[in-house]
Each structure stands twice: as structure tokens, then as C-alpha cells.
Amino acid sequence: MERLQSCPPLAIRSGHDGWLIDESGRRYFDAISSWWVNILGHTNQRITAAIIEQANRLSHVMLGGCTHEPAVRLAERLAARTNHQLGHVFFASDGSSAVEIALKQCFHAKAIQGQGSKTLFACLRNSYHGETIGALSVTDVPLFQNAYRALLTDTLIVESPDSRDGNEDAALKALSNLLDERGNEIAALVIEPRVQCGGGMSMHSPEYLRKVRQMTRQHDVYLIADEIAVGCGRTGTFFAWEQVSKTDWPDIVLLSKGITGGNLPLSVVLSSEEIFQCFLSDDFTKGFLHSHSYTGNPLACAAANAVLDHFDEGLTDAIAQQAQYLSQAFDRFNGDSRVSPVRQCGMILAFEVNNSGNNFAERFHMQGRAHELLIRPIGNTVYLIPPYVLNQELAEFLANAVDQCLDKVLSGC
Ligand SMILES: Cc1ncc(COP(=O)(O)O)c(C=O)c1O
């Protein structure tokens, strides 16, 4: 709250496509899709229409003992996108809840299978999976964890395959050692496929993930792919995992953020047949128990179905073209001594700023505002996660604005 003096909140009145308009009529391009959720920009007409239509029929009914068409349709469409390898869908309302559900499912399924010793989880160095107690326990960002350490459960942290260090082999070796030594205590490994977003946009190859999948299978450890940030087309394919394999899926995949295009809170946990079968019993102690009041809210499911309509009509082709525009526009930063080489995975682009000085993220953010940009670096990492509304001109606008912000911030303005 103290920082609000130097960085007052932007009072936003409206939004259209990539742009946000504040109360005084100034505009800002939302270069980070409002924490990576507004993948189709703001006030997408088709999603709005789907929500209104659904609101006129049914706004909410509890999913305990009831069901409804938008949830069933959404579950079937998502399952089909995994070739029905992950054919069971559990609904929740936000990313952290989805992580909690996945952790509980893995632990409980292992216990039912007679592997009650598997009480631990593993995650990658610098991973971010949310900030409720369970999700924060499998996060490795000290800023968010330090004050709450005493509340968190023990988690095994394994080295990350951070593209900036080119150390995928070392990361695989570390994982192999961990699984050899403690695999019989680990219920699941949770990862963010292709890009560790909250930890600073570090990227890794599909090949790394392919080997992780093999190793977790060998050690009978479940693999949770947290696609809350990287799913819904962000890395170029609907699921980031499609770049790894279309037939050999993780045991669980999570989606949230972009699934409703930033219109309503929703998350989904897609689970394998094996996990589902563990809980299929008359015995209540074997049932998977987890309830949220707004689970599978019909309005949110209707919004998500409208987002999937865009993908059914070829949105990933448009994303590929827009990623190209972004790459061409930011090519000017390669070889620029102010910054590290630019890295990109689909519609995620990032670089580090050299000699960035104190309080860089906030100073850069404030310069962004002055250059019609909503942008929030993580430490000295400047990243763009724009909505899928780019054309060549907008990509150039983004590169110019970032360039000018860098000039200003590094010259001490
Ligand atoms: C990979 C990942 N997992 C989980 C979460 C938590 O989602 P939420 O903020 O909706 O709780 C986030 C949020 O940024 C995320 O990036």
C-alpha cells in the first residue's frame, strides 16, 4: 500500500480488443493480457453474447447432484482435444484451486493404490503454481513464500531446465537422481510445460518434457502439467503439451486464465482414466471429495465454449502468424547491448535488461503507462504476453514503446 504513492492504480473504465481506456480517456495496450487471461482481448463480442444468452437461461446451479449442458459440452470438447487420454474433467474457479485439486487427486489415488508412502510432491526450481497453501508449497518463488514458510508442506525442488543456462541435461540428471533416491515418497511432479512463467519466463524444449514423462512413468510418479498460464494457445498449440506428444499425455493437465478469455473465473482439472478409476467406488473413503460453491458455473462454461469456438475455427493459425509479427518486430533487440538475447515461445516473448538498477520493474511499468503500454516486468525480465489480436502494426508499436521505455529507464528518467 505504501507503494501506491509512487505507483497509483490505473482506474480503467473500458476495454476493447487489446486496448484499455482509463477514466481520463487515456489508452494502454494490454501487453500482458491482464495477468495472461484476456487472450482474445477485452470485450470480445462473441464471448459476451454467449454469456448473455446463457444468463437468460441459467446463471448457476450447483454441480453437486446436478449437471448442465455448458459444462458437459466443455468437458467433452476439452477431452477430445487430448484424444480422450484425459477424459475426466473436474471444475473449479481459479488456477490455485485447480492445483490443490490435482495435488489431492494424486496423493489420494496413490494411497488407494496402496502407495500411502507417497506423501510428497516435487516441482522445478523457480516454479510458480499459485498462492493458496498447497499451491504455494509447490511454488519456488521466495518473495511469495517467505512470510508463510511455517504453513507450507515439505516439497522437493529439482533443478529447472532454464533455457538461459542451456542446462537441460543437467536438469534431467538432477531429476533422475531425485526419482532414484526418493521416487517411492513422491506422489507427483508438477511442472509448467515449455515456459515457467511466474519464475521469469524461462523456457525449455519439448524434448526435455518427453524425457520427464518417461522418467515419471518409470518411477510410478504422477505428472501434473500446469497449463494455467501456457495453455489455451499461448505457446502456439491449444495445449503446450501437444508439442511433446499427442498420444502420451501427463496424468493431469490444468487450465484456467485464458479458458474464458478473461471473462469469468474458471479452472479445469483434466485427469486420466487410471486416476478416475481409483475413485470409482461405493466406499466414501475412496471418493474424491472436493467441493467449491461455484464449481462449473454455467456462465463461465458458456464463455469457455465460446473461446473453444475460436480455436475450432483456426485460431492457432492466427496465433502462429501473430507470433511471427512479434518476433520480427523485436528482432531489433538481438545484439542490443542493453538486453540479453530475446527468447520466444509462441506468444510469450522475454528478455533480461542489463544494469537495470534499483526498482526496475516499477520504473519500467510507470514508463510503460507514459507510452500507452500496460506492462509489468518480473525483476529485470521484460516480457510480453499480448492478446491474440496483433497485426504487424501493433507488433511494431509494442517494440517501439518497449524501446522508448528502456531508453528512459536506463537513462535514469
Ligand atoms: C502456472 C500457474 N499456475 C497457477 C497459477 C495460479 O492461478 P490463480 O492466480 O488463478 O490462482 C498461476 C497464476 O499466475 C500460474 O501462472
Domain boundary among 256, 283, 312: 312
Residues 148 and 274 reside in one and the same domain: yes
Residues 227 and 81 reside in one and the same domain: yes
Lowest-pLDDT range of 276-280, 282-286, 350-354, 369-373: 282-286
Question: Which residue CA neighbors atom 5 of ligand 1 most closely?
Answer: 130
35 within some domain? no
Q: Quick one: pLDDT at residue 167?
A: 87
Helices 206-218 and 168-182: crossing angle in degrees, nearest 10, is 10
Residue 322, classed as helix, strand or coil, is: helix
152 within some domain? yes
106 within some domain? yes
Q: Quick one: pLDDT at residue 309?
A: 98
Of 228, 264, 294, the residue with max ligand 1 atoms within 8 A of its CB, to mutate for a pocket test, comes to 228
- Give the burial string for 113-128 (b: 16+ CB within 10 Å, else e): eebeebebbbbbbbbb
CA 98 – ligand 1 centroid, Å = 9
41 within some domain? no
Residues 70 and 84 reside in one and the same domain: yes
Residues 340 and 306 reside in one and the same domain: no
> Cα–Cα distance between 344 and 173 in angstroms, integer?
25
What are residue 312's phi and psi, to 5 degrees?
Answer: -60, -25
Structure confidence by residue, pLDDT tens digits, 144-184: 999 999 999 999 999 999 877 778 999 999 999 999 999 99
Domain interval for residue 349: 2-30+314-410
- Rounded to a whole number of angstroms, the distance between the first and last alpha carbons of the chain is 23
CA 128 – ligand 1 centroid, Å = 7
Residues 273 and 152 reside in one and the same domain: yes
Domain boundary among 258, 288, 312: 312
- The count of domains in the chain is 2
262 within some domain? yes
42 within some domain? no
Residues 121 and 138 reside in one and the same domain: yes
> Does residue 47 have a pLDDT over 80?
yes
Higher-confidence position of 5 and 11: 11
Report the pLDDT averaged over residues 75-98.
98
Residue 4 burial (C-beta neighbours within 10 Å; 0-12, 13-18, 19+): exposed
CATH code for position 182: 3.40.640.10
Residues 13 and 100 reside in one and the same domain: no
Q: Quick one: pLDDT at residue 34?
A: 98
Residues 367 and 305 reside in one and the same domain: no
Is-contact 19 401, C-beta < 8 A? no
> Cα–Cα distance between 72 and 88 in angstroms, integer?
11
CATH code for position 341: 3.90.1150.10
Ligand 1 atom closest to Cα of residue 192 = 1
Residues 286 and 323 reside in one and the same domain: no
Of 35, 37, 100, 129, the residue with max ligand 1 atoms within 8 A of its CB, to mutate for a pocket test, comes to 129
Ligand 1 atom closest to Cα of residue 197 = 16
What are residue 104's phi and psi, to 5 degrees?
Answer: -65, -45
The dihedral sign for the CA sequence 346, 259, 33, 124? negative
Please report which confidence band the pLDDT of residue 1 belongs to, taking 50, 70 and 90 as the band edges.
Answer: confident
Structure confidence by residue, pLDDT tens digits, 197-238: 999 999 999 999 999 999 999 999 999 999 999 999 999 999
207 within some domain? yes
> Does residue 304 have a pLDDT over 80?
yes
Domain boundary among 284, 312, 340: 312
Strand partners, 121: 155, 188
Q: Distances in Å between the alpha carbon of 69 and those of 49, 61, 73, 261?
A: 17, 11, 6, 20
Residues 59 and 20 reside in one and the same domain: no
Residues 177 and 213 reside in one and the same domain: yes
38 within some domain? no
Ligand 1 atom closest to Cα of residue 99 = 4
Ligand 1 atom closest to Cα of residue 130 = 6
Q: Quick one: pLDDT at residue 412?
A: 84
What residues have CB less than 8 Å from 395, skipping those under 6 apart? 322, 325, 326, 328, 329, 330
Residues 117 and 165 reside in one and the same domain: yes
> How high is the mean pLDDT of the chain?
97
Question: Which residue CA neighbors atom 2 of ligand 1 most closely?
Answer: 129
